[in-house]
A and B are shown apart, each in its own frame.
Chain A
């Protein structure tokens, strides 16, 4: 274990929780920050007859605590940052450590579910592969269908595809024909938004078949990469922001 631990920077601000320390390389580089007010869209924008009072009370409580959902710090600290992966200069945001923390994983899903459960969402679209980890639990909890958006040639049968730019070259994502119907209301889930290329392609795919994108939701945003600007009119909801490099 020692040789592994030595390859990571120590978290300078606070010592990591002891449970995580024993298990895994839980040291966080202090570049993970808690989200500022602007990155959590006000709950007041939406109404839900059934639970509006509850939402308002929760929002008020959160606002009291400096706009911060009290579950967020634990979620943020459960994410591991790996330097120079997949290549030098990139600080990779590894959510697998969040999945090892049963409370943090549950809280992550709960926050999204609370936000979307009364918004008439009938589609949760998740981008392969890490979007497959967060999307289905949300879909199940809010009674929506889950639609996987995949790399080329993975989905059998008829698909539609949308191209997007990479640093060098392009890639495609695909969706099944007939998975969604015109007029459906969708959210798109991924673990992280960086440049926004993949999410923008997912938005285009769904809009081409007449679906309304209510919001894009990610655990992590790398705001320096300005991915938000590629999403057009679709709002973005995130839990944690971090530095890209």
Chain B
């Protein structure tokens, strides 16, 4: 029964029309998917969260992990609504105390994603949330971090997918739920 894309829900089109595409940001040739305009529309923002909450509320999710920084916009409302803890996954040196990290590739060079030691426990059922999936590098790093500490990653949830970048194939076999595709 599970569909990866909520195709027929009438709220989807309302959300899609609110996403602003900004050409040549952060550099020439990139069509940047700006979700801040969705956040400016209370109905569109609420619909976005509701769609994810409806999907996950009966799936016994105990952790919502959100990727800094735009994953912090969508993850906490979902976590609060489904009664899960929220775990921020952050760039290096932002989290105080003991952390573990996972490296991932950028176009030029590498970066790291960090998570607090002890935030997630063995057997936790986790959702990973970000605004958008492009190459899937960051999401893959997030999945690895959660699995290393014994959590089960149930699904990745993004508002937008850029399917041509094939990020879906980099999720270690985990399913992806997204609301809007941009080709």
Contacts and interface: CB of A to CB of B under 8 A. Distances in A.
B117 A100 contact: no
B97 A129 contact: no
Interface residues of B, number: 42
B34 A157 contact: yes
**What DSSP secondary structure best describes chain B's contact surface?**
mixed
Given A23-B118, A24-B118, A136-B76, A96 B95 contact: yes
Contact of B39 (A129, A143, A148): A148
A139 interface: yes
A145 B41 CA distance: 6
A139 B85 contact: no
Chain A interface category by residue count: 35 or more
Contacts, number: 116
B93 A86 contact: yes
Contacts of A145: 39-42, 45
A144 B83 CA distance: 23
Contacts of A57: none
Contacts of B93: 86
19 contacts: A1-B118, A23-B118, A24-B118, A82-B96, A82-B97, A96-B95, A100-B85, A100-B119, A105-B80, A106-B80, A136-B39, A136-B45, A136-B74, A139-B45, A146-B39, A146-B40, A146-B73, A147-B39, A156-B32
Interface of A: 1, 4, 23-25, 80, 82, 85-86, 92, 94, 96, 99-102, 105-106, 109, 128-130, 132-134, 136-137, 139-140, 143-148, 150, 153-157, 176, 179
